[in-house]
């Protein structure tokens, strides 16, 4: 074990501690008793945070106990992330990731519709101005 901990080649391919994946519970290991115990641990963490806050100490965030994650929940999270990235790339083109290529290819020989021109003159100042 010491040889691995001192080997630079092994260290190069290992994940950093902050990149380690979150702890997850397997669905087969989960039961009603485990849910109750996990809820109890979470509530005790909240009580500790409240006690520290009442003493004037800024409590650190205690992460909740791990729960199993289903494929449906993973898909929902991925869909939300994709929707968010798409919105960011449309609103802030220089900040967001580039959206994926459209599913339907463009028709060859057809030009895109021209963008509407903004009215010239005084700039808009907002409501009530």
Residue 19 lies in a domain: no
Q: Is the pLDDT of residue 67 over 70?
A: yes
Q: Specify whether 80 is located in the same domain as 49.
A: no
Residue 11 lies in a domain: no
Q: Judge whether 15 lies within some domain.
A: no
Residue 34: what pLDDT?
93
Domain assignment present for 8:
no
Q: Which residue has the higher pLDDT, 113 or 8?
A: 8
Per-residue pLDDT tens over the stretch 97-124? 555 555 555 556 656 556 566 566 665 5
Tell me: pLDDT of 85 over 80.
yes
User: Are residues 63 and 77 located together in one domain of the fold?
Assistant: no
Domain assignment of residue 82, given as a range: 70-98
Q: How many domains does the chain have?
A: 2
Task: Render pLDDT for 25-43 as a digit per residue (tens, 0 to 9).
Answer: 888 888 999 999 999 999 9
Which of 16, 46, 67 is the endpoint of a domain? 67
In a domain, 53, yes or no: yes
Task: Verify that 62 and 91 share a domain, yes or no.
Answer: no
Choosing from 67, 90, 119, the residue where a domain stops is 67
Token code pair at residue 88: 């960011």
Residue 89 is assigned to a structural domain of this protein: yes
Same domain flag for 76 and 62: no
pLDDT at 108: 60
In a domain, 16, yes or no: no
């Amino acid at each position: 074990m010491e040889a691995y901990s001192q080997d630079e080649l092994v260290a190069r391919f290992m994940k950093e501690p902050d990149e380690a994946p979150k702890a997850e519970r397997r669905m087969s290991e989960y039961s009603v008793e485990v849910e109750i115990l996990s809820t109890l641990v979470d509530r005790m963490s909240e009580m500790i945070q409240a006690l520290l806050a009442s003493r004037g100490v800024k409590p650190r965030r205690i992460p909740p106990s791990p729960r199993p994650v289903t494929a449906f929940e993973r898909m929902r999270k991925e869909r939300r992330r994709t929707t968010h990235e798409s919105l960011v790339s449309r609103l802030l083109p220089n900040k967001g990731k580039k959206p994926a290529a459209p599913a339907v290819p463009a028709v060859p020989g057809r030009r895109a519709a021209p963008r509407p021109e903004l009215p010239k003159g005084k700039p808009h100042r907002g409501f009530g101005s």
